[in-house]
Chain A
Amino acid sequence: MVEVGIADWWFAATGHAVPTPPPGAAVISSEPGSTLVRRDGRAFLALEGISKVYRVGEHDIYGLADVSVSIEAGEFVAVMGPSGSGKSTLMNIIGCLDRPTAGDYFLDGVEVSRLPDLSRARLRRMVFGFVFQSYNLIPRSTALQQVELPLMYQRASHRRERAMEALSLVGLADRAWQRPSQMSGGEQQRVAIARSLAVSPRIVVADEPTGALDSRTSDEIMEIFTRLTQERGITVVMVTHEPDVAQFSQRLIRMRDGRIVEDGPTDRVLQPRQPDDIPPLAPSEGRAHE
């Protein structure tokens, strides 16, 4: 099975020449000190035996303990779990913001967790879009500037047009010149989503994107995510606390104490819970934050 074609986008993104691998499994040498190992038959995102250990004083604390998970391109995956269950650590590792202590992370067949910092920065720039609970917009910059920023790091052309296009996608074209302080939480989050979409990412990593929003706005955001996966084939991996939000996803992963305890179609994973377990709809300020 020839896999070269699949990872071509990766080499295009990181600026490396596409190597000619030997038949079958390929060992690809790219930058000094790094080896890209490509193997056949893996999912688009494949985490194999990922652990993250934090050393606190004399104790080792497992943020993630031997987590393996595969996610196919175009899937909309929600990750749920109590505080400290390792959801955010998982997201950071998937988004190439953090490195695992042990294990392999294959992105389209390429091991990326041990790539040099610069390659990982390029991956974040070209492949990932990030959406955070606290929006993480740059203060005092206009919506348009926020959305243009990742394009600037990409050194992309037609930045203004592309940024405006992304803003229209989230319905904020008319607010392009407003600053975060002049916008509501929902609008700010939509700007953050526009920023993550402007670069045409393959994967959107969202860490509690609706954590600070009311339920109506949350639904709007979730509809945008659903459209992304359905219309553009973008993979969305989202951490959430709220079953209401999680039900927009196709697949739900439950975590506890750094391990995956449940993984399946969202309908099925949510079902065993009795209606009593589902927290009543609360006003936005009352929602649990991590």
Chain B
Amino acid sequence: MNLLDALRVALVMVWTNRLRSALTMLGMIIGVSSVIILVAVGQGAVKGIEDQIRGLGTNLVFITPGAAQGGGGAAGAAGSSQTVTAADADALAGSKVPGIVAVVPQLTMGGQVITNAGNVRSQVIGTTPSYAEVRTLALSSGSFFNDQDVSRAALKAVIGASIASTLFPAGDAVGQTMRVTLQGNVTFNFTVVGVLNAKGGGFLSGDNNTYVPITALQARVGSISRNAKGQVYLNQIDVQTAPDVKQATVKEAITEVLLSRHAVATPDFQVQTQDDLLGTVSTVSAVLSVLLGSIAGISLVVGGIGVMNIMLVSVTERTREIGIRLAIGASAGDIIQQFITEALALTITGGLVGVLIGTSIALALNGLQLGSVTMNTSIQPWSIVLAFVVSAVIGVLSGLYPAWRASRLDPITALRAD
């Protein structure tokens, strides 16, 4: 029997046993579509994080305290080191390192923001007005504080959209006063000068942040803004580089300046470019994809076992038919071909339907609002190809054993079967 005939016969068989075929295919459909959906969701999440890193601003280099790699146990954990200082930021701003466009110091404290309408936990970030430019913050109302506010250590604040909506439900935040308790022990009254546009999404969005002049924190919370050496420390320095210089070069120059200032051989600080961060994310993404893919892969294997089960039942049930075919001249090879083709017809049809359903669901999930989280899905062509190829391979494998059993039947015994 040639291949085309075998395929036609197989499709007729699949169609004749519609219900059973559909149920068998369901296993493959669920397997294939879950591979596609899970990979798409995983990649979508990663892509969302990548977009947020890119959305932080353009051409940024981040300097944070702590050793780059492990080094001394928990020493690298953010906040535990206070090795990066305000003097470092001034030195970088005044240095001759080519390609530095802006240097933005940041001092972050945990805070509680309170009005009559409510009480919100917030990251209070002390910084300079260039932060708004470097991080491309857009305001929905009011304005960012200015250089004068910084030099005067003014008690002015710019708040994230989420804080504004909670604490000033009437939408008239600008000009109002709110109480801010810093580190749980000192409280000040800040005047709101600006409200940021909502950024939405994940943990990097900053919708819950409060931005104040860095000097306001340093001057008024002096006791807790100095490290053991008595230096005014920073949590982070953002350096914006010129678009036409290589960030790696700037990163090296910055590292040298800081190493000599700190008079240490190995860095007690980290310098990371946006590309570095993206690199970390893509490592995470690879792990995530493999994890999700293999979970979904299990369901593909289960689906394959379902196909094998049905094919075995089918061989038993059609023993007499196999006997007839052997009697009228089918060879063992013809019988093997017939059952493998049938298994393939089932799995490939199931695989195609799975691809259709998987991509449709992944597309439908994209942009779906789940509470405060927006689902992002990114359909990966490789996952479609992989799922499809795996389903075809499973088709052959799961058809192989039943086909072999069928081909080994003795024609006379088979003809006698009921």
CB of B334 within 8 A of CB of A97, answer no
Interface residues of A in 138-152 (CB under 8 A from B): 138-141, 149-150, 152
Which among B5, B12, B327, B415 has the greatest number of chain A C-beta atoms within 10 A?
B327
A153 to B321, CA, bound (A): 15
Q: CB of B223 within 8 A of chain A?
A: no
Contact with A along B1-26 (1 / 0, CB 8 A): 11001000100100010000000000
CB of B327 within 8 A of CB of A138, answer no
Q: CB of A121 within 8 A of chain B?
A: yes
Chain B residue total in the interface (Cβ 8 A)? 23
Contact with A along B323-335 (1 / 0, CB 8 A): 1111111111110
Distance to closest chain B CB from A230 (angstroms): 24
Contact with B along A108-125 (1 / 0, CB 8 A): 000000000110011011
CB closest residue in chain A, given B6: A152
Given contacts A98-B412, A139-B321, A153-B334, contact A124 B1 (CB under 8 A): no
Interface residues of B in 283-342 (CB under 8 A from A): 320-321, 323-334
A141 CB contacts on chain B under 8 angstroms: 12
Distance to closest chain B CB from A228 (angstroms): 17
CB closest residue in chain A, given B2: A155
Given contacts A121-B326, A132-B415, A155-B1, contact A140 B332 (CB under 8 A): no
A257 to B96, CA, bound (A): 114
B320 CB contacts on chain A under 8 angstroms: 136
A148 to B412, CA, bound (A): 22
A130 to B411, CA, bound (A): 12
A244 to B414, CA, bound (A): 30
A27 to B40, CA, bound (A): 68
CB closest residue in chain A, given B327: A130
Interface residues of B in 117-131 (CB under 8 A from A): none
A155 CB contacts on chain B under 8 angstroms: 1-2
CB of B324 within 8 A of CB of A152, answer no
CB of B415 within 8 A of CB of A121, answer no
Number of A-B pairs, beta carbon distance below 8 Å: 68
Q: CB of A92 within 8 A of chain B?
A: yes
CB of B1 within 8 A of CB of A92, answer no
Which among A122, A126, A153 has the greatest number of chain B C-beta atoms within 10 A?
A153
CB of B1 within 8 A of CB of A153, answer yes
A139 to B325, CA, bound (A): 12
Distance to closest chain A CB from B198 (angstroms): 63
B321 CB contacts on chain A under 8 angstroms: 138-139
CB closest residue in chain A, given B411: A97
A74 to B250, CA, bound (A): 100
A31 to B324, CA, bound (A): 26
Interface residues on A, range: 20 to 34
CB of A152 within 8 A of CB of B327, answer no
A154 to B1, CA, bound (A): 7
CB of B330 within 8 A of CB of A121, answer yes
B334 CB contacts on chain A under 8 angstroms: 121, 153
Distance to closest chain B CB from A239 (angstroms): 14
A122 to B330, CA, bound (A): 8
B326 CB contacts on chain A under 8 angstroms: 97, 121, 124
Distance to closest chain B CB from A50 (angstroms): 16
A67 to B9, CA, bound (A): 41
CB closest residue in chain B, given A132: B415
Interface residues of A in 185-212 (CB under 8 A from B): 195-196, 199
CB closest residue in chain A, given B323: A136
CB of A118 within 8 A of CB of B1, answer no
Of B9, B328, B331, which one neighbours A118 at CB under 8 angstroms?
Answer: B331
Contact with B along A150-178 (1 / 0, CB 8 A): 10111100000000000000000000000
**20 interchain pairs (CB within 8 A)?**
A97-B327, A98-B411, A98-B412, A118-B333, A121-B326, A121-B331, A121-B332, A122-B329, A124-B327, A125-B328, A125-B331, A128-B329, A132-B415, A136-B324, A140-B16, A141-B12, A152-B2, A153-B1, A154-B329, A196-B328
List the interface of chain A (C-beta within 8 A of B). Answer: 92, 95, 97-98, 117-118, 121-122, 124-126, 128, 130, 132, 136-141, 149-150, 152-155, 195-196, 199
List the interface of chain B (C-beta within 8 A of A). Answer: 1-2, 5, 9, 12, 16, 320-321, 323-334, 411-412, 415
Known: A121-B332, A124-B329, A199-B329. 18 other contacts (CB 8 A): A95-B327, A122-B331, A124-B327, A128-B329, A130-B327, A136-B323, A136-B327, A138-B321, A138-B324, A149-B325, A149-B328, A150-B329, A152-B5, A152-B9, A153-B1, A153-B325, A153-B331, A154-B329
